[in-house]
Structure 1
Amino acid sequence: MRGGIPDTGFARQLQDHSFRGKQRQEDLLAEVARYPLVNEMWENKIPRFDQITTPAYVVASYSNTLHTPGAFRAWRRMASEQKWLRVHNSQEWPDYYDEANREDLRRFFDHYLIGADNGWEHTPRVRYALLDLCGGDQTQLPADQFPPGDVAQTKYYLDGASRTLRTAPPAAADTAAYDTQGAANLVSFLLGFDEETIVVGYPKARLWVEARDADDMDLFVFLQKLDAQGTPLQEFTVPNQSARIHDVTEHGATILRYKGSEGRLRVSLRELDPAHSTDEIPAHRFDRVAKLSPGEVVEEKIELMPVGLVLRPGERLRLVISGRNLFGGWMPGLREYAPANRGQHVFHTGGARLSYLQLPITHR
């Protein structure tokens, strides 16, 4: 469950296909139905990161909706002073079994488990990837932190009139909206670049939203890279690029084909968790419900999955907001979550309600 949205497709697949041993197992589907809000049971499933002090070798990617947020969160929050992060550009299994990466992990274990003097301590604390999505990915880029220290958090304001993202706040108030039952239940905003720009780190959307004829909203936010002709760019994360892989990733299976960064939130669960929220990364409590009143406009902050993208002159980013998961499930064969949205979703921009996309930007 991400963003307070009970997307139980993976848990259902595990249960339906008997991916379990012969003994009794926990019934996650029943637990989600019985306890939709965070309580002591769910809190007991969260690792005590402040108690993790052992050396850690953390591997993450930008493309696994199931694992990516948790991998980065664990690396950020664990208390160990000896922790390393390596962000790669592929699906995790080809990366893990690559012999060079296996040897890298051996050096870590040899150093800490048998005391080998192999120079591991000089390994950069962070090694990250930048995706080009046109065949020019960069990997193993060294840094002392993630995002790298030269990144500046930059706000791009939504303009409902022009459907663009702007560095200057629009003075005039406007709106953009869609009918949740319509064929095209989405709105999007474009951001162009006239010089090479790197986006690496944690994106965030701050939106002023209103539900018409409803008291709640399930929102899905996507960030896509477009080429100079406006075509969305994607990239396979596995060596197998056969016709069957094309078929199963046409809609969904984002673990196998990277389509962009994604975030989601149920608006009634928008209250932030002050213990873990930062300016870069909003964290939510998910333990209380605040439904919307008719005509009420509320502010919400949505965490998007980490990104590492290179944008060249003429290329663009497209911010998409929708009432459904346009990218589909993260794994082939998952039953898709069906939102219970109804009415209109309205997004306020400009004036006193400045909706924006915050991006970690650098120029090198």
Structure 2
Amino acid sequence: MRYSLLDLEGGDRIDIPADQFPPADSVPTKFYLDGRSRALTITAPGAEVPVAYTVAANPDAVSFLTRFADETVLAGYPKARLFVEARDCDDMDIFVLVQKLDAYGTPLEAFTVPNQSAIAHDLTDRGATILKYKGSDGRLRVSLRHLDETLSTDEVPTHTFDRVEKLAPGEIVEIEIDLLPVGLVFHPGEQLRFVVSSRNLLGTMMPGIREYVGANSGQHVVHTGGEHASYLQLPLQSR
């Protein structure tokens, strides 16, 4: 098989041969969410710090950053393992995004097609992600969080979607969300941003499709550190 590594700055590498995907030298690595510093850390924070957003507010999301000191390659399947709570509602539609930022914090993206006209820009501002790559995303309705223990792996969680488990007031539940596979290169000083939101962050995949709006209300809480150490698992390629 072959895969590609994007740096989104004109230095993409394509048609890389491999016997499997993720490549054999790709190692799933946990980056823990730190609600106090809003950073992603290799070690889990000792203190539990919840962070929250209100669905009807602006922003309706929380994000976490890490900066890479060395050349870093991601190749494989990201996943998020989060401890979440719903306030003033009994369910949550959660959307997550892994986004590449340059050293100055500017999000990086790239067209996937030769057409980069004004119309192409209009189409991809809030959707049509098949035409422009903006990052790796995933989503889950929390009441459908039950995992299929037979099909799930450490890298890719698989949900049964055969039961609805609503949330009780004050209940903190553990969820796993698979994200689209990545092949990304981060040069020294560049950053990765992980976003958790009640909104479809990338919009639709195809042009002209009505954007999905989640059945959300109230407040979403993401618990970090301590007994509720939420993390983003990334496929780091060993050097």
Determine if the TM-score, normalized by the shorter chain, exceeds 0.5: yes
Q: What's the counterpart of residue 333 of structure 1?
A: 208
Q: What's the counterpart of residue 109 of structure 2?
A: 234
Report the Cα offset of residue 327 of structure 1.
1.0
Q: Does 2:27 correspond to 1:158?
A: no
Report the Cα offset of residue 278 of structure 1.
0.2
Report the Cα offset of residue 338 of structure 1.
1.4
Does 1 or 2 have the higher relative contact order (CA < 8 Å, sep 6+)?
Answer: 2
Q: 1:169 aligns with which of 39, 44, 48?
A: 44
Aligned Cα root-mean-square deviation (Å): 0.7
CA distance in 2, matches of 1:310, 1:363: 12
CA distance in 1, matches of 2:237, 2:85: 33
Percent of residue pairs bearing the same amino acid type: 64
Could you say what secondary structure the match of 1:223 adopts? Answer: strand
CA distance in 2, matches of 1:359, 1:319: 11
More helix per residue: 1
Q: Which amino acid aligns with 1:253?
A: A
Q: What's the counterpart of residue 225 of structure 1?
A: 100
Could you say what secondary structure the match of 2:119 adopts? Answer: helix
Q: What count of residue pairs does the alignment treat as equivalent?
A: 239
Q: What's the counterpart of residue 166 of structure 2?
A: 291
Q: What's the counterpart of residue 56 of structure 2?
A: 181
CA distance in 2, matches of 1:301, 1:247: 33
Report the Cα offset of residue 363 of structure 1.
3.8
Deviations 1:52-84 (A, max 9, x none): xxxxxxxxxxxxxxxxxxxxxxxxxxxxxxxxx
Q: Which amino acid aligns with 2:19?
A: D
Q: Which amino acid aligns with 1:244?
A: I
Could you say what secondary structure the match of 2:122 adopts? Answer: helix
CA contact (8 A) 1:196 1:363 kept: no
Runs of 4+ with >4 A deviation: none
CA distance in 2, matches of 1:325, 1:132: 24
* Structure possessing the higher radius of gyration over alpha carbons: 1
Q: Which runs of 5+ in 2 are unaligned?
A: none
What pairs up with 1:202-281 in 2 under 5 angstroms? 202-281=77-156
CA distance in 2, matches of 1:136, 1:242: 22
CA contact (8 A) 1:223 1:260 kept: yes
Could you say what secondary structure the match of 2:143 adopts? Answer: helix
Q: Does 2:2 correspond to 1:127?
A: yes
Report the Cα offset of residue 243 of structure 1.
1.1
More strand per residue: 2
Q: Which runs of 5+ in 1 are unaligned?
A: 1-125
Report the Cα offset of residue 158 of structure 1.
0.2
CA contact (8 A) 2:69 2:189 kept: yes
Q: Which amino acid aligns with 1:175?
A: P
CA distance in 2, matches of 1:197, 1:336: 34
CA distance in 1, matches of 2:212, 2:94: 12
